[in-house]
Chain A
């Protein structure tokens, strides 16, 4: 099976712009989670989607939003970018309906905000 894929791998934006990141889960996986990784804050949970519904959300401002499509692919959007949004954004997919199931990560999208 192909792994989790994320596009693009690298992105450079300027403050005030918006960005959309994409994640394709492993085939058959219906849950997709997004994380922000920075050197100072470590790995922070953004949100999790299952069957096109957001099941869980971390403590991020409303500028961060996401959605999931019927084929389980997910997108994450950040509006009005700030310098502090520079990070590695990781997507993970999992198979089971219940929580606590194993997550498989993509390679990440490295976002740099200038």
Chain B
């Protein structure tokens, strides 16, 4: 069945790079997304990548997609304390979007 898996926690020091990984199962997914959720808030779209791309860069964010291994990663350069949040990976195709459980990123000052 469809499933999206992420590690639950990641801790980094301020200024370091963070890499959040995700694996998905549906090879027909058209889009893959990264969302950010801060405490008490809804999900905020960070970036997305089409399934026919390998990489996308957007300021401090770099998304890498390995379609063969169904592996998606989000790299945050120069991580700041304001980046502390839960990051959700999601795959979309057809009429629904499947979300991972979220990775909680802790940024230590």
Q: Which residues of A contact B (CB under 8 A)?
A: 4, 6, 33, 35, 42-43, 45, 48, 50, 55-56, 90, 92, 99-108
1/0 per residue, CB under 8 A from A, across B2-43: the answer is: 000000000000000000000000000111010100000111
Q: Say whether B45 contacts A99, CB under 8 Å.
A: no
CB < 8 Å: which of B30, B45, B100, B102 contacts A100?
B30
Q: Say whether B42 contacts A100, CB under 8 Å.
A: no
Q: Say whether B97 contacts A103, CB under 8 Å.
A: yes
> Could you say which residues of chain A place their CB within 8 Å of the CB of B42?
4, 6, 90, 105-108
Interchain nearest-CB distance for A75 vs B (Å): 17
1/0 per residue, CB under 8 A from A, across B82-109: the answer is: 0000001000111111111110000000
> Could you say which residues of chain A place their CB within 8 Å of the CB of B94?
56, 99-100
